[in-house]
Structure 1
């Protein structure tokens, strides 16, 4: 998916590009904080991340924005399509600031937290 988004002009930092073993041993709150400290916008396939206090804390503390795909079963091409289709809305949500979490749905993005 990262390469497909890069081909569409997105700047993508994969967890595996930063942490060893593709980030398998890195807690979510650590990679989220790492990215936010670099002004990166986190994207997760796990929409439940916003319901876990430790994992959402970096977003809250930094008044940042997090995006989650609303369907973990999508193929990579579908994920890329959803993100690309809503690129302008994603940028507007980032400009509004946070703390906030948004679900990227097939037909829109939707603020889902707080």
Structure 2
């Protein structure tokens, strides 16, 4: 079964479109929740995606340090990914994720609970 990803609102529409153009199956918070998910707490969108077996992607590395946000990952023994640089432009985020696609897939297959930073040319497990 191909992986599906759930993008945090901080990744934006351009990243979703770029990943789709690379063959990824992605869901945006704005596709699922009203008002582009502006009032949806991180723990809610993460749990919603994981309940559907969608892999969460964010650019907020602090997400792994907040008990409420990481609880869904822990309970479901899931995997979450975040970009390690919040200053990247959309094209750079797409390139980074695409370059690490195989490693991301292997990490999901390995299972969790885990959080990984997506670096320029690799992923690194950062939690637990």
Measured against the shorter chain, the TM-score band is over 0.9
Q: CA deviation at 1:21?
A: 1.0
CA separation in 1, counterparts of 2:117 and 2:42? 17
Which residue of 2 is the match for residue 32 of structure 1?
Answer: 46
Which residue of 2 is the match for residue 99 of structure 1?
Answer: 113
CA separation in 1, counterparts of 2:40 and 2:64? 17
Which residue of 2 is the match for residue 44 of structure 1?
Answer: 58
Alignment of 1:6-25 (within 5 A): 6-25=20-39
Q: How many equivalent residue pairs?
A: 114
> What TM-score do you get using the length of structure 2 for normalisation?
0.88
RMSD: 0.5
Structure 1 residue runs of 5 or longer lacking an equivalent are none
The answer as to 2:93 corresponding to 1:79 is yes
CA separation in 2, counterparts of 1:20 and 1:106? 33
Which residue of 1 is the match for residue 11 of structure 2?
Answer: none
Q: Secondary structure at the match of 1:13?
A: strand
Runs of 4+ in structure 1 displaced over 4 angstroms?
none
Which residue of 2 is the match for residue 110 of structure 1?
Answer: 124
Structure 2 residue runs of 5 or longer lacking an equivalent are 1-14
- Identify the structure with the greater strand proportion: 2
CA separation in 2, counterparts of 1:68 and 1:86? 12
> What TM-score do you get using the length of structure 1 for normalisation?
0.99
CA separation in 2, counterparts of 1:53 and 1:88? 29
